[in-house]
Each structure stands twice: as C-alpha cells, then as structure tokens.
Amino acid sequence: MIEKNVCLKPYNTFGLGAQAKLMARVDSVSNLQEILADNSLHNEPRFILGGGSNILLTKDIDALVIKNEISGIELINETEDSFFVKSGAGIPWHELVMHCITNGYAGIENLSLIPGNVGAAPMQNIGAYGVELKDVFHVLEAVELATGNVRSFSASECEFGYRESVFKRKLKDEFVISSVTLRLNKQANLNTSYGAIDQELERLGISSPTIKDVSQAVIGIRQSKLPDPKVLGNSGSFFKNPVVQTVIYEELKTKYPEIPGYPAGENTKLAAGWLIEQCGWKGKVVGNTGSHGKQALVLVNYGNATGVEIFNLSEQIMKSVYDTFGVQLEREVNVY
C-alpha cells in the first residue's frame, strides 16, 4: 500500500517533522521489486529510509520514500570457528546484537546500542569502542533500484573506510541493502582495550568478562554520554573525527599540549568532540538545538528544531573549529 503525505517525525531519530509525498513500506525483496516495477510510480524519484538514525531532514521529501522493513535473523552456516548470521536490513541493529549475545555469537558486543537498522550498518561502516562493522562483515545483498536485480557485495566490493563505503560514494542511491551476513566467532576474542570499557568492567566488579558483560559495559558507557533519541532527538556523532597529517597534529600539539590524537595509518585522527568543546560549544543551547552537554560531537533537537536550524548550527561549529584550529570538520550525518 502506498501512503500519501506521511509525517516523518517518528521515522528519524532527530525527530524532525518533514513530510514524505509518498511512502511504501517493504518487508521482503519481492515486495520491494514489485514497488520498483510499478509503472504508476515510475516517474517518482525514490528515497530509501532505514532506521532514520543518520539523516538530517532539512526539507520535505518530494519523492517515493521506500521504508525498508525487511526482517528475519537466521544462522545460515557454521564452521569449526565461526557462525554465519544473516539479518534482514530492516532489523534494528541493537536487536541483532542482543540476538547474537543471547546465542553466544561473538564479535559485535562492542557495537551494542548503536541506533539505526542493520541495512545502515554497512552504509557507513558503523564503529565504536575499537570495533567496526567491517571486522565481522561477510557479505551483503542489495537490490538495484534501476533494474530490481539482486546483487551480492563482498567486503572488498563494499570499499569500507572510516564511516565510509561504496554506498555513500560511487553507488550512492543506486542500491537498497536487503540483508547483511556477518561472520561471528565461536571463541570470543574480546576487545576491551578501549580504556573506558576496562574502567566500566572494573566498576561493575567483573574480572573475566563474557560477551554479555562487555555489551553491558558498552551500554553503560553509551547511556552515560549519549542522549537517548527517544528522549532527546539526535543522530549520534554529527561530525566525523578529522584525520590530518601527523605533522599538522604535531604543530597543533605545540600550541595545545592537551589535544587528543590517535594514529590512523601514517596520519593522525583528532577528536572532533574535543575541538568543538574547546571552541565553547559543549552544552550550548542555540534556539531549539545545541551541542550535547556530555558529548560535544552530538547535536540535539530540544523539541521543536527544524533541520535547517540544526544544519545552521553545524555550519557555525564547523566555522569556529576551522577559525581556531585550521581543521575542517566533515559531517557524518547525511543531509537531505
């Protein structure tokens, strides 16, 4: 069924009230193919919506919004050391993480509580606490919008980078991801090196953690810093952490000895949250929006913000970080 003039407020984690001209919910590949083949819809531009957790809507969507609700989680194969788990793209990411933890499939415990759906995970190679989707990715299936054909993409074909993939670049708006298959471990290989996890486990009094304990620790850390989109509209980190030449980082360090920097190949990754905080934005309220008081990298909607207001705030933040540090921030969130 095609719905008309749908308010998208419940479908984006910023809680922005843009309207979709038309909306089709699809719950299977064949259902999606039917919509793509429907002649009466052929003249409509298409817009693919997943969990709406990485989008800033600055205007109404004068298009057919295809809401991906393809579900199902299945153990499709097992080898001596791995489980291959296939998930529909419309499953909320955290639901998949919980399913894996309950069944003892290890590898995505550090990615607990990330908002959004499974289909969005490879789009921007989600990552947190030292783990990225690409570390556990096996294969995905996607439907080509122009033809309705299903194609598989291996990890190398996805061209994963830091919050990047081929679906955000070369193949932008060409495919709808329908399923993602992960290769998870039978023997947990815990990654608690990200300082805060060890501290949280210690606080919880856990000395030999299980994947469930690591997940609980990550959930605790995230809840202490990141606002719950159900309570306060937001889209996680609004900007990427900028990667600069190490000589630039060294120069900045002579002027700002406290500046955090992490090796990224031969370059250095800076902490955008730190740069934004130094410019005085952390916790600052601007109209109906602002930078979150516990994590400056997160922009929030205090209730009645428009996408344009949030976009304008992001421009101001980018300008002041550039004027102060000479570093250009890039948005992680997709702006429409």
What are the helix (H) ranges across 65-175? 93-103, 120-123, 155-158
Separation between Cα atoms, residue 278 and residue 188, nearest integer Å: 39
Strand partners, 270: 261
Q: How far is the CB of 114 from ligand EPU (least distance, A)?
A: 7
Nearer residue to ligand EPU within complex by CB, 178 or 234:
234
Question: Cα separations (Å) of 193 from 46, 128, 129, 215, 303?
Answer: 42, 12, 8, 14, 37
Separation between Cα atoms, residue 100 and residue 84, nearest integer Å: 11
Q: How far is the CB of 32 from ligand EPU (least distance, A)?
A: 27
Q: Is 258 a catalytic residue?
A: no
Q: How far is the CB of 31 from ligand EPU (least distance, A)?
A: 30
Q: How far is the CB of 312 from ligand EPU (least distance, A)?
A: 20
Nearer residue to ligand EPU within complex by CB, 175 or 281:
281
Catalytic residue from among 237, 291, 309, 314: 237
Q: How far is the CB of 165 from ligand EPU (least distance, A)?
A: 14
Q: Is 71 a catalytic residue?
A: no
Contacting positions for ligand EPU (CB under 6 A): 128-129, 236-237, 240-241, 260, 271, 273-274, 277, 282, 295-297, 332
Beta strand 46-49 with 2-7 is: unpaired
- DSSP symbols for 198-227: HHHHHHTT-SS--HHHHHHHHHHHHHHHSP
Locate 75 and state its tokens: 């153990």
Q: Is 163 a catalytic residue?
A: yes
Nearer residue to ligand EPU within complex by CB, 14 or 83:
14
Nearer residue to ligand EPU within complex by CB, 6 or 96:
96
Catalytic residue from among 53, 163, 179, 215: 163
| 178, 86 contact by CB (below 8 A) | no
Nearer residue to ligand EPU within complex by CB, 98 or 271:
271
Catalytic residue positions? 163, 237, 332
